[in-house]
Amino acid sequence: MKSPLILLLLAVAVSSCSTQKTAQVLPPCCRPLAAAANYTDKSLFQLESVWTSDANRKVKLGVLRGRPQIVAMFFASCQFTCPLTVSDMQRIEAALPENLRTNTGFLLISFDSERDTPAALKVYRAKRELSNQNWTLLRGEPDDVRELAALLGVIYKRDANGDFAHSNVITLLNAEGEIVFQQPGLNLPADEIISKLKTLSSP
């Protein structure tokens, strides 16, 4: 928990001499829960469902309000495409200009309500070196996962081994939780989603 954070801070310190807002952007775990009443009609943050983070904290999606989010669904024991999707997201993260990187969230939501406990997600975070600052990992109840997948247009099915066959899509939410762009597929270039992100941050 501590070392990736320190590494990240070091990385930030080394890579950039300009003044950055890193210190002001609290990681999702520590931000106050935003008021629920005034989300837009298209906002995914309207969902009432309660999710658990890898830090074992209960949150609603509204907690992510305030910066654009790059979202994908996955499961930690996935041997096939999820690692690629996460790599795609990491490539986007790495390719972002500094000011955008500190102002973009990366959200992974598990299909696997049974096996992806907070502890399992925590292991996954460490294994994939996902920074606390930018990345949120959530698990939820099967019904809520089904509902969120429906909103993201993700199709999935649990097979006899307890694994999940699923469609691959990376979704860009704006700071209000509205879907502004979706990129289906794997191993995709980061350019398009980054240019969308740029248009979001400079309206």
Which of 6-14, 16-24, 49-57, 144-152 is the region at the interface with other proteins (rule: CB under 8 A)? 144-152
Tokens coding 125: 């975070």
Amino acid at 199: T
Q: Does 147 bind other proteins (CB under 8 A)?
A: yes
Place of tokens 């500190």: 102
Q: Does 77 bind other proteins (CB under 8 A)?
A: no
Q: How far apart are CA 113 and CA 63, in angstroms?
A: 20
Q: Scan residues 25-44 and list those touching other proteins (CB under 8 A).
A: 41-44
**What DSSP state is assigned to residue 158?**
E
Q: Tell me whether residue 1 or residue 150 sits nearer to other proteins (CB atom).
A: 150
Q: Tell me whether residue 45 or residue 131 sits nearer to other proteins (CB atom).
A: 45
Which of 49-57, 59-67, 121-129, 139-147 is the region at the interface with other proteins (rule: CB under 8 A)? 139-147
Q: How far apart are CA 94 and CA 88, in angstroms?
A: 10
Q: Scan residues 184-203 and list those touching other proteins (CB under 8 A).
A: 184-185
Closest approach, Cβ 104 to other proteins, in A, equals 22
Which of 80-88, 97-105, 120-128, 190-198 is the region at the interface with other proteins (rule: CB under 8 A)? 80-88
Nearest to 61 by CA among 132, 140, 127, 128: 140
User: E strands along 37-121, which residues?
Assistant: 51-53, 58-59, 69-74, 105-110
Query: How many Cα atoms sit within 13 Å of 38 on the Cβ side?
Result: 2
Judged by the rule CB under 8 A, the positions of this chain that interact with other proteins are: 41-44, 46, 78, 80-82, 143, 146-147, 149-151, 153-157, 159-161, 163-168, 184-185
